[in-house]
Amino acid sequence: MLRKIFIVFPMFCIMFCVSAHFCKAEWGQPGWLYKEGQYTISTAKEGFRGVMWCQRETDWLWDRSFPGPCRVRKDEDYSIFGVLAKYITYTYRNSLLYGVRIDIEGKGNVENAMYACRNLYIPAQQIEHINDNERFWQTDYTSVWVTIPEKENGLGTIYIWGRDRKFPEDSKHPVHLAKPPALNSSNKRYKPRQYVAYRASGPIIVDGKLDEKAWRDAEWTEPYEDHQAPYAPEPWKTTRSKILYDDENIYFFGQLQEENVWGHLTVRDTIIYYDNDWEIFLNPTADGVGYYEFEINPLNYAWDMFHSTDYHRASCLDIYYNVTGLEHVVDVQGTLNWHHDKDTGWTIEVKWPLKSLSERNDRVKLPIERGDVWRINFSRVQYMHVYNLDFPYLLPHSPCEDWVWQSTNTGDLHNPEMWGKVIFSDLAAGTFKDIDMENAFSILEAPKPPKNRKKDMVYFEACSITMGPDPTDPEHCPAHTVKLPEFWMDRYEVTIKEYTDFLNEIGDDSYYDPWMQVPELCGIVKDDSGKYHVFKGRENYPVVFVSAKAAAAFAESKGKQLPSEAMWERAARGLDGRTYPWGDEPIDPSRANYDFHYGGTLPVGSLPEGATPEGIFDLCGNVKEWTTGLHEPYPGGKPMVYILQCPPWNRKEAHIFSVARGGAWTKQEACMAAGYRDTHGSLNMGFRCVRVK
């Protein structure tokens, strides 16, 4: 398919076709393609240790386990500026070296390093004394900020970053630099962002402008954050949104700061995120099933689609779906595709008919009532651009950055359980605050952990059970009969202390995920001698960030194995096929840790009311649990079509994920029944073991 690229200048339009940039492409590839090695990206004349700002490739050996912007070298030389650094952390923005953060212990060491740094990065003007403990200066190509500790043995920091136009605006403060993983902790219980959507206080004209009273009455969301926040640097441009509704429509407004508004895709339902774009993810049933996605670029070309479920659960998205009655308009505050001036940004207004939402998801509840909760997220895709030609263009082979209203922590945007909550009020915007709705879903006080835990396993006789259906996917996962041998199951999920002991016993670092060192998420740290330790107080929490391979290795080391799906369901549902491990009574936070009620995991066994009759704890909530099953259809179920197997890709191969069961502290209420099949996790993925004769 040939793609034509429109470059729009003030007062005229040019259709631009250049053979070096323009080639035949399949659907789903960028409209503007580059051959590897054909282009050289200009770099600044300074950098760090011989690597220039804006340089992409180095021969440094990276640990790639952390968020994309944050990198740590496995082959690091901590001798720097005449002292020995404790941490050296690199920030890459859109795959280009942006800056480095150097953490140094000792006030005297920091001061000595600062003088040596000043001799290498010679100030173009006088050094600015921010206060008694902070200094700032710039060269023509580099910014330097130094924080001197107050205490003699304190930790100070030297921040060094590039001043190139491809990078964030020339900020005086080091706000766009990543923290070292060991210091990258929020120490807070996790609460997803919430937004109360009020009724429109007056008529809305869809023109991309924020000039109606109705929009002025509506509140802004919080500014977007990186999709891996709080463990990644802040975005360097501000993005925010508003939401309103009436009897017929839900309205969205997006505001994007942008000094150079640029776009080139002019075909509806192509992959719009190959331009800088703005996106809406909309799940009216708040269960991750049957959700909608909308993308739009500055030229007002859109791509709307429907997802039967998230990508990991055999989602065959319908990319050709068009929302009935959808209206959208873009307004550019500046000159589109003209980089010789400075724009303010662009705004988007979307009118989405409510009745269209039930066309593909007949479980959508209409009309909207006070207290209804939807899962929604917004995303902004942002690429680097090259400005030294007559027109700006996308940086070749540059990955995008994703800035979102609600971080998913893992970088996976198609993770509906991690989206923000939109709560509806029946009041008109601009009148009174709906206090109950504004204060909904507060974090609950964690229950006291159990003092004693039984160490034995629970025995199950050989039997036949009815397995399934998955209540969210009965078409592919219907009820069917399964025979089981006798087996024993752990009463509790594997704890952080137990997994730490395993790491020290087995001596294989491949079973350690560096994310485990974040204390509020897990809490396992490796010392200089190579030994693993648990953060104090985290011993009895369930271990997370465990791969299926690592979980199986742990089980084998104990003479056990991971449960099959049927074993897990036998334990959770009993022979009577109950809905939840405790029975058919409705779920609530006294029985299960789910939907962010407690803001994180709880020590295993903290909710005895949710135990099975046999005394197995946390089979519902807390963490997802690995099984040996693969996410394939049950016997008698309709064949699954996995992502990229549907049109227009039509690929034969499929990536089939392992199955996890039990939900987690992040999972929506509608996905907590014992028959639900899940397939992915990270900060919420753990396991328990079984033993079979």
In tens, the pLDDT along 116-154 reads 999 999 999 999 999 999 999 999 999 999 999 999 999
Residue with the larger pLDDT of the pair 75 and 34: 75
The rounded distance, in Å, linking the Cα atoms of 679 and 677 is 7
Counting every residue written for the chain, the total comes to 693
In degrees and rounded to multiples of 5, residue 551 shows phi and psi of -65, -40
What dihedral angle (degrees, nearest 10) is formed by the CA atoms of 623, 625, 630, 632?
A: -50
Bridge partners, residue 282, by sequence = 292, 376
Q: What band does 389 get if pLDDT is binned at 50, 70 and 90? A: low
Q: Give the C-alpha separation, 634 to 479, whole Å.
A: 8
Q: For the residues of 566-616, what is the DSSP string, one character each?
A: HHHHHHHHTTTT-SBTTBSSPP-TTT-B-TTSSSS---TT--GGGS-TT--
Task: Summarize the confidence of residues 648-673 as an average pLDDT.
Answer: 92
AA letter at 262: W
Instruction: Determine phi and psi for 225, rounding to 5 degrees.
Output: -125, 170
User: Which pLDDT belongs to residue 101?
Assistant: 97
Residue from 393, 396, 394, 414 nearest 404 by CA: 414
So what's the pLDDT on residue 96? 87
Radius of gyration of the chain (CA): 27
Query: Is 628 exposed, middle or buried, given 0-12, 13-18 or 19+ CB atoms closer than 10 A?
Result: middle
- Mean pLDDT calculated for residue range 278-289: 95
How, if at all, do strands 685-686 and 624-630 pair?
Answer: parallel
Sign of CA dihedral 11, 17, 18, 20: positive
The pair phi, psi for residue 44, each rounded to 5°, is -70, 165
Q: Is 13's pLDDT higher than 50?
A: no
Angle in degrees, CA 252, 253, 257, rounded to 5? 150
CA distances from 430 to 216, 217, 219, 221, 439 (A): 8, 4, 9, 15, 18
Residue 38 has pLDDT above 60, yes or no: no
CA–CA separation, 339 and 14 (whole Å): 15
Please tell me which of 187-191, 517-521, 612-616 the model is most confident about, judged by mean pLDDT: 612-616
Residues 6+ apart with CB under 8 A from 387: 165, 166, 260, 339
Task: Give the bridge partners for 504, in sequence order.
Answer: none
pLDDT value of residue 460: 97
pLDDT category at 36 given cuts 50, 70, 90 is very low
Taking residue 621's Cβ as centre, other Cβ atoms within 10 Å add up to 29
Instruction: Assess whether pLDDT exceeds 90 at residue 393.
Output: no
In angstroms, the first-to-last Cα distance of the chain is: 59
What is the chain's mean pLDDT, rounded? 90
Section 102-127 average pLDDT = 97
pLDDT class for 12, splitting at 50, 70, 90? very low
Residue 91 CB partners (closer than 8 Å, separation 6+): 69, 70, 71, 97, 98, 99, 100, 101, 161, 176, 177, 178, 233
Q: Smallest Cα–Cα separation from 464: which of 479, 478, 448?
A: 479
Q: Between these two residues, 580 and 653, which has the higher pLDDT value?
A: 580
For residue 621, give the DSSP letter: B
